[in-house]
RNA sequence: GGACCAUUGGUGUAGCGGCCCAACAUGCUUCCCUGUCACGGAAGAGAUCACGAGUUCGAAUCUCGUAUGGUCCGCCA
């Protein structure tokens, strides 16, 4: 179609040009014999002016029009728009498609609820801020390709229809028509395939990989999501981190214009847990967790028996933290298997709070001096024999207090690697049983291999997560490349020899034929876009996301299918599961 | 599987036992307007307050249940 310019690109230098524009009518201001129209296309807005409104067709908001006109300088510029110095004097306008009244106003400052926006996602995406999010997403993927191609990585597509894996998240299953009773699974990640590519000698692989997990959703979790996936042979952990720091630096430079300083900080897992109460710490603010074992030495309190005791000092918050506020903190603490959070407050020089009655004067003085408590300081702490519970619980409270005190500057970016993850995570309540902290293909550190049999909990792994502003944006590991070690890890995770042979034989057999030492990582693309667009809702960075019930709000998928479709794949729904008539 | 919160004209909110067959903003319709840019001004249309039961002389308002949506825990190797 005839189109000589894009709305958002017109500038003062274009004054005098005749242009033909295509776009949507975003808004109109009718002054009687003078009409202003904001025209929007994918590039942005420009103001149109009709000095003779009789020539205009019927102009409903969001109708699509073709406009011919002349760019002219505005008497009074509008500095809030990039095109604010000019306007286009309409010589003719053709209505291409008339719009019905939209359910909500198409503008960045829309007041519609997310539910409404998602139902009419195609209208929601017309809002420039949403289009911007899609642009940032596209830019990240583009930089991903640019960077890893420059480092000789090869993009390889891996299968979408896979063997169901017994470990990990629940699989999305796909029934097979040719093999009644058999099912494929959608990939949770291309993990095994990319390791086979290393064994195949590809050496450097990368892929934009769609992944699927049939688990419950969250504000930052979707059932289908995109990983920027990479795997490389013959690199050690430091080499992989350095390679990826180059990519991260490129992202921040190209998207934000920020030079991040390299190398990034590497923080051991247990430091992150004990000091920040998280394996994805937000280090933009303090409120560090303090070990209180020594401070409370000699205090008679049942809950301290064999317990880890950790707390945070919240400055200037003793008076402002009400009973109700403490109740809310207790609610939060209980989410992490803690009984609650205890308080000490220094008010008017006297130590009060819920725990004060367990302390004698001498002990109170010790608490004040050893923590250097100042007037109006609040000490929040918890105790539990479960180290992770104390750390995660106080970490959650640290985050709440930081938000309350407004300690987080949203315009700063804070990047670090969390390294030295434990190989295994004990299953609470089941002595001697473990799950893999990362995944079963993770390579234990060489210096810890001797602990595998005696003390598996102490084995650390070659595993690393990239954490930005408290979000885990990616992670990876070096992989086991020895057949016997891989087998042994499966055994430690509770799989019998028969289980391993049956479920992973097709994979582990490959380890007999010469395996390069290899490792890799994957970024959560959706999380990266969230960081770069400053949103905390994953649905804002995906064009057509699912809602929390894993339903597509636009099409209402999933839905029942016809009996014919079920028959073709040999599936009968169980009784009582009423089947709606088609 | 569990906890908590929400649901009121097209949209977003207020109202939290009688001042409410419901208020405000915005959108919509009609009219006026030559410099607006969140244009302004005037008039108007538009809601059985998610659904079902209950408490009460009286329910948008209280209780219970259901549905839908959101946030979190479990879960997410």
Q: Which nucleotide is nearest to A189 (CA to C1')?
A: B77
- pLDDT digits 0-9 by tens, A23-49: 999 999 999 899 999 999 999 999 999
Sign of the torsion formed by the C-alpha atoms of A361, A362, A368 and A369:
positive
Q: What is the pLDDT of residue A578?
A: 44
- pLDDT mean over A242-247: 98
The protein residue nearest nucleotide B37, judged by CA to C1', is A78
pLDDT score of A579 more than 60: no
Q: What is the pLDDT of residue A166?
A: 72
Q: Which nucleotide is nearest to A33 (CA to C1')?
A: B34
Lowest mean pLDDT, pick from A123-137, A204-218, A516-530, A553-567: A553-567
Task: Give nucleotides in strand B with any atom < 7 A to a protein C-beta.
Answer: 1, 10-13, 26-29, 32-40, 68-77
pLDDT score of A482 more than 50: yes
In this structure, what is the dihedral angle of CA atoms A91, A97, A98, A100, given to the nearest 10 degrees? -140
* Separation in Å: B47 C1' and A124 CA: 25
Tokens 């200037």 -> residue? A316
* Separation in Å: B41 C1' and A8 CA: 32
Cα–Cα distance measured from residue A328 to residue A459, given in angstroms and rounded to the nearest whole number: 37
- pLDDT mean over A321-342: 81
The protein residue nearest nucleotide B38, judged by CA to C1', is A109
A113-119 long-range Cβ contacts below 8 angstroms, 24+ apart: A114/A537, A114/A539, A115/A547, A115/A553, A118/A539, A118/A545, A118/A547, A118/A553, A118/A554, A119/A553, A119/A554
Inter-residue contact A309 to A332 (CB < 8 Å): no
pLDDT score of A340 more than 90: no
* Separation in Å: B42 C1' and A132 CA: 40
Q: What is the pLDDT of residue A41?
A: 96
Lowest mean pLDDT, pick from A117-126, A164-173, A252-261, A369-378: A164-173
For residue A449, give every residue at least 6 positions away whose Cβ sits within 8 Å of its Cβ, in sequence order, or none: A459, A485
Q: Which nucleotide is nearest to A191 (CA to C1')?
A: B77
Q: What is the pLDDT of residue A324?
A: 73
Give the ipTM.
0.90
Q: What is the pLDDT of residue A327?
A: 79
* Separation in Å: B1 C1' and A50 CA: 62
The protein residue nearest nucleotide B28, judged by CA to C1', is A101
Cα–Cα distance measured from residue A236 to residue A214, given in angstroms and rounded to the nearest whole number: 33
Q: Which nucleotide is nearest to A428 (CA to C1')?
A: B74
Q: What is the pLDDT of residue A109?
A: 83
Percentage of residues in chain A with pLDDT exceeding 70? 99
- pLDDT digits 0-9 by tens, A397-455: 898 888 888 888 878 899 999 999 999 988 777 777 888 889 999 999 999 999 998 99
| Antiparallel, parallel or unpaired: β A86-97 and A44-50 | parallel
Lowest mean pLDDT, pick from A59-73, A254-268, A384-398: A384-398
Cα–Cα distance measured from residue A335 to residue A66, given in angstroms and rounded to the nearest whole number: 57
A340 or A160, greater pLDDT = A160
Cα–Cα distance measured from residue A136 to residue A128, given in angstroms and rounded to the nearest whole number: 12
* Separation in Å: B3 C1' and A113 CA: 24
H-run or E-run covering A530: helix A525-533
What are the DSSP E strand ranges found in A74-122? 86-97
Structure tokens at A282: 């937000």
Structure tokens at A278: 């998280």
Smallest Cα–Cα separation from A485: which of A446, A542, A523, A524? A446
* Separation in Å: B23 C1' and A112 CA: 20
DSSP H stretches of helix in A269-386:
269-271, 323-334, 361-370
Lowest mean pLDDT, pick from A111-125, A194-208, A245-259: A111-125
Q: What is the number of other CB atoms lying within 10 angstroms of the CB of residue A394?
A: 31
pLDDT score of A582 more than 90: no
- pLDDT mean over A100-116: 88
């Amino acid at each position: 179609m005839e189109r000589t310019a894009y709305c958002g690109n017109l500038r003062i230098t274009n004054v005098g040009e005749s242009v033909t524009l295509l776009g949507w009518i975003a808004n109109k201001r009718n002054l009687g014999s003078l009409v202003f129209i904001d025209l929007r296309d994918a590039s942005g807005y420009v103001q149109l002016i009709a000095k003779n409104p009789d020539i205009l067709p019927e102009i409903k908001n969001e109708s699509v029009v073709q406009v011919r006109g002349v760019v002219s300088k505005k008497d009074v510029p509008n500095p809030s728009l990039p095109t604010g110095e000019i306007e286009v004097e309409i010589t003719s306008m053709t209505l291409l498609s008339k719009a019905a009244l939209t359910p909500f106003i198409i503008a960045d400052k829309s007041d519609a609820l997310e539910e409404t926006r998602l139902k009419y996602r195609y209208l929601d995406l017309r809002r420039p801020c949403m289009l911007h999010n899609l642009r940032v997403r596209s830019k990240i993927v583009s930089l991903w390709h640019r960077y890893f191609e420059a480092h000789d990585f090869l993009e390889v597509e891996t299968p979408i229809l896979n063997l169901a894996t017994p470990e990990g998240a629940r699989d999305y299953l796909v029934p097979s028509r040719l093999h009644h009773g058999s099912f494929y699974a959608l990939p949770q990640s291309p993990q095994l395939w990319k390791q086979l590519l290393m064994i195949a000698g590809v050496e450097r692989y990368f892929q934009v990989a769609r992944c699927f997990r049939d688990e419950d959703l969250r504000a930052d979790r979707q059932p289908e999501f995109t990983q920027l996936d990479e795997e490389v042979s013959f690199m050690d952990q430091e080499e992989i981190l350095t390679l990826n720091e180059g990519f991260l630096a490129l992202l921040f430079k190209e998207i934000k214009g920020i030079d991040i300083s390299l190398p990034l900080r590497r923080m051991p897992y247990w430091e992150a847990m004990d000091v920040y109460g998280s394996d994805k710490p937000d280090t933009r603010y303090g409120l560090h967790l303090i070990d209180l074992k020594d401070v409370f030495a000699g205090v008679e309190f049942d809950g301290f028996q064999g317990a880890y005791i950790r707390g945070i000092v919240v400055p200037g918050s003793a008076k402002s933290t009400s009973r109700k506020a403490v109740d809310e903190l207790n609610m939060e603490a209980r989410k992490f298997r803690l009984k609650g959070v205890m308080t000490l407050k220094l008010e008017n020089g006297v130590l009060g709070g819920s725990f004060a009655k367990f302390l004698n004067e001498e002990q109170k003085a010790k608490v004040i001096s050893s923590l250097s408590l100042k007037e109006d300081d609040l000490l929040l702490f918890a105790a539990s024999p479960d180290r992770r519970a104390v750390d995660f619980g106080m970490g959650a409270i640290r985050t709440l207090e930081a938000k309350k005190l407004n300690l987080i500057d949203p315009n700063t970016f804070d990047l670090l690697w969390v390294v030295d993850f434990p190989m295994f995570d004990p299953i609470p309540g089941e002595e001697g049983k473990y799950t893999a902290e990362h995944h079963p293909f993770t390579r234990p550190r060489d210096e810890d291999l001797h602990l595998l049999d005696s003390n598996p909990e102490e084995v650390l792994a070659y595993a690393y997560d990239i954490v930005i502003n408290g979000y885990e944006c990616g992670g990876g590991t070096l992989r086991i490349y020895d057949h016997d070690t891989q087998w042994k890890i499966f055994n430690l995770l509770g799989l019998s020899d028969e289980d391993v042979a049956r479920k992973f034989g097709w994979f582990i057999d490959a380890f007999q034929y010469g395996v390069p030492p290899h490792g890799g990582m994957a970024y959560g693309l959706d999380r990266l876009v969230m960081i770069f667009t400053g949103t905390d809702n994953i649905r804002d960075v995906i064009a057509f996301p699912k809602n929390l019930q894993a339903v597509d709000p636009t099409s209402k998928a999933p839905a029942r299918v016809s009996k014919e479709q079920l028959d073709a794949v040999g599936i009968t729904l169980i009784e009582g599961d009423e089947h709606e008539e088609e």
